[in-house]
């Protein structure tokens, strides 16, 4: 079965039970069919994988599984035994099987084994027992799968490899002993996750999928990190899925998206990923359809009759918080205008320059209005999902406009911009900024050693 859906598979604060329930409805609305429970925040998914769930924990997962089944959604539970497992130790295999038996006893039949983000080195005992990490993981997973299928013949298992993207393959995808070994040794009925050329892939093309499909001996299931934001505290992604053509649909065995930590920010991510998986995808049309379906969540508090944030404002929100590799098209255009206004050392203040300036001031006013109207949302989770990012957007664009206005007055050469609203060297400082400043990046974000 071609799997399409959502994995709660990120680092950081996990979603609540109520949010997971709501996510199941979003999955249905997006015509998808799977949900994977695998928050790195559930200590028993990773660090304490050997322990059984308590009755209360088991019940919470079981209730979610029931809710998924009631909606015809395949419900997977992830287990990551990978941080400290000894693959050759029968006690570790038994611990994993006991966990699986416990979950099967509560009606959960589909599982994911996660081997992502772990050391590539095996311990000494495993070195003595296996020729490679892939051989160790494959045998451990095959044994787990055989035990699971003995309990539940229709059970599915998905395997997340340690080399789960091109950038992690050693020395590269074509020559990765790890990936070739997996392809040969892992039970062909076990599905395998793949995130594309990178952890967060700007594009995933057909040639790369043909290659990995041939090596793994099966079509991969895309673990889609396009909308994940756990790696960058300054961004959230509310734009449509992009960078994946229709031509890859026949080369994969599904797509499961691992989106933003902020639950409410994920509506467009889920809706558009579902649209992509159905084929005939058009990014702009997918965004418009998602905005229509999303707008009812933007109800303003204390309004009778009900009022909502307007479509144009929601579109602006998505344009500001668009995709990992680009802002929305209109915001990109306006950034281009701003760049050209600032591009010349001493701009000649022509009518065209002033017109460009007016466009940026217009954007500032729209962002301020959006910021203000969002404070009135009845759904506070939706408000907080975007609040820090919109705050920052408003501050920066306001600052830019002050600068442009100052420039339009023709300041003397070398004059200093009188930024009275900020304490110098106070704003956005701190340890991480200090470390970032140690490594000077070029325009493409690459580092070079400067003499």
Tell whether residue 14 is a contact of ligand GDL (CB under 6 A).
no
Taking the complex as a whole, the smallest distance from the CB of residue 233 to ligand GDL amounts, in Å, to: 12
User: From the CB of 165, what's the least distance to ligand GDL, in Å?
Assistant: 8
Binding map of ligand GDL across residues 121-160, x = CB under 6 A, - = no contact: ---------------------------------------x
CB 113 within 8 A of CB 145: no
* Residues 359 and 334 sit within 8 Å (Cβ to Cβ): yes
Interaction of residue 266 with ligand GDL, rule CB under 6 A: no
Q: Single out the residue of 34, 33, 51, 29 nearest to residue 42, CA to CA.
A: 51
x/- string (CB under 6 A) for ligand GDL, residues 189-228?
------x---x-----------------------x-x--x
What minimum distance in Å lies between the beta carbon of 224 and ligand GDL?
Answer: 9
Which member of 230, 366, 392, 395 binds ligand GDL (CB under 6 A)? Answer: 230
Instruction: Map the footprint of ligand GDL across residues 40-59, applying CB under 6 A.
Output: 40
Residues contacting residue 356 through CB under 8 Å, at least 6 positions apart = 337, 338, 340, 341
Closest to 7 (Cα-Cα) out of 51, 57, 52, 73: 73
Catalytic residue list contains 381: no
Query: Segment 306-325, which members bind ligand GDL (CB under 6 A)?
Result: none
Choice between 269 and 338, CB closer to ligand GDL: 269
Gyration radius from the chain CA atoms: 25
Range in contact with ligand GDL (rule: CB under 6 A) among 6-14, 303-311, 315-323, 353-361: 6-14
CB of 161 to ligand GDL, least distance (A): 9
Residues 6+ apart with CB under 8 A from 114: 9, 38, 45, 46, 78, 79, 80, 82, 160
Instruction: Classify 435 as helix, strand or coil.
Output: helix
Count of positions (residues) in the chain: 451
Q: Of 41, 117, 187, 230, which residue is the catalytic one? A: 117
Closest approach, Cβ 68 to ligand GDL, in A, equals: 21
Closer residue to ligand GDL (CB): 49 or 298: 49
DSSP 353-389: HHHHHHHHHHHHHHHHHHHHHHTTBS-HHHHHHHHHH
| Cα–Cα nearest to 212, from 173, 261, 167 | 173
Minimal distance in Å, beta carbon 130 to ligand GDL? Answer: 22
Structure tokens at 102: 């416990």
Please report, for the chain, how many H helices and E strands are present, in that order: 14, 8
The residue from 116, 163, 224, 319 that contacts ligand GDL (CB under 6 A) is 116
Task: Identify whether 31 is preceded by a cis peptide bond (ω within 30 of 0).
Answer: no
Examine residue 231 and tell whether it contacts ligand GDL (CB under 6 A). yes
Verify binding: residue 81, ligand GDL, rule CB under 6 A.
Answer: no
Under the criterion CB under 6 A, does residue 117 sit at the interface with ligand GDL?
A: yes
Q: Give the binding site for ligand GDL (CB under 6 A).
A: 9-11, 40, 116-117, 160, 164, 195, 199, 223, 225, 228, 230-231, 258
Catalytic residues: 117
């Amino acid at each position: 079965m071609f799997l399409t859906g959502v994995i709660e598979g990120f680092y950081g604060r996990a979603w609540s039970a109520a949010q997971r329930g709501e996510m199941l409805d979003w999955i249905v609305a997006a015509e998808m069919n799977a949900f994977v429970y695998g928050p790195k925040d559930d200590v028993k998914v990773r660090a304490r994988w050997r322990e059984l769930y308590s009755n209360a924990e088991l019940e919470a997962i079981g209730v979610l599984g029931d809710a998924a089944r009631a909606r015809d959604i395949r419900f997977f539970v992830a287990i990551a035994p990978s941080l400290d497992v000894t693959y050759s130790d029968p006690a570790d295999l038994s611990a994993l099987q006991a966990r699986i038996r416990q979950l099967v006893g509560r009606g959960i039949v589909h599982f994911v084994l996660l081997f992502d983000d772990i050391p590539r080195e095996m311990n000494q005992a495993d070195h003595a027992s296996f020729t490679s990490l892939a051989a160790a993981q494959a045998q451990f997973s095959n044994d787990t799968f055989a035990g699971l299928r003995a309990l539940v013949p229709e059970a599915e298992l998905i395997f997340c490899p340690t080399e789960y993207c091109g950038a992690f393959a050693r020395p590269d995808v074509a020559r990765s002993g790890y990936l070739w070994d997996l392809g040969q040794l892992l039970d062909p009925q076990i599905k395998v996750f793949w995130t594309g050329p990178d952890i967060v892939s700007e594009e995933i093309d057909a040639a790369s999928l043909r290659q990995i499909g041939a090596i793994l001996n099966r079509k991969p299931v895309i673990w889609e990190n396009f909308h994940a934001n756990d790696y960058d505290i300054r961004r959230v992604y509310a734009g449509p899925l992009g960078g994946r053509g229709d031509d890859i649909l026949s080369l994969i065995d599904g797509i499961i998206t691992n989106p933003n930590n902020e639950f409410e920010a994920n509506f467009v991510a889920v809706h558009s990923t579902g649209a992509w998986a159905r084929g005939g995808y058009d990014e702009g049309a997918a965004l418009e359809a998602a905005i229509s379906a999303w707008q009812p969540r933007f109800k303003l508090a204390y309004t009778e009759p009900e009022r909502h944030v307007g479509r144009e404002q929601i579109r602006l929100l998505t344009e500001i918080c668009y995709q990992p590799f680009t802002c929305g098209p209109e915001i990109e255009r306006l950034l281009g205008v701003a760049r050209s206004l600032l591009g010349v050392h001493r701009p000649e203040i022509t009518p065209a320059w002033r017109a460009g300036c007016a466009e940026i001031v217009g954007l500032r006013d729209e962002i301020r209005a959006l910021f203000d109207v969002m404070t009135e949302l009845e759904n506070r989770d939706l408000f907080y999902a975007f609040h820090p990012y919109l705050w920052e957007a408003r501050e920066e664009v306001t600052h830019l406009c002050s600068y442009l206005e100052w420039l339009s007055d023709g300041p003397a050469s070398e004059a200093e911009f009188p930024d009275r609203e900020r304490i110098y060297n106070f704003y956005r400082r701190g340890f991480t900024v200090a470390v970032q400043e140690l490594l000077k990046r070029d325009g493409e974000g690459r580092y070079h050693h400067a003499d």
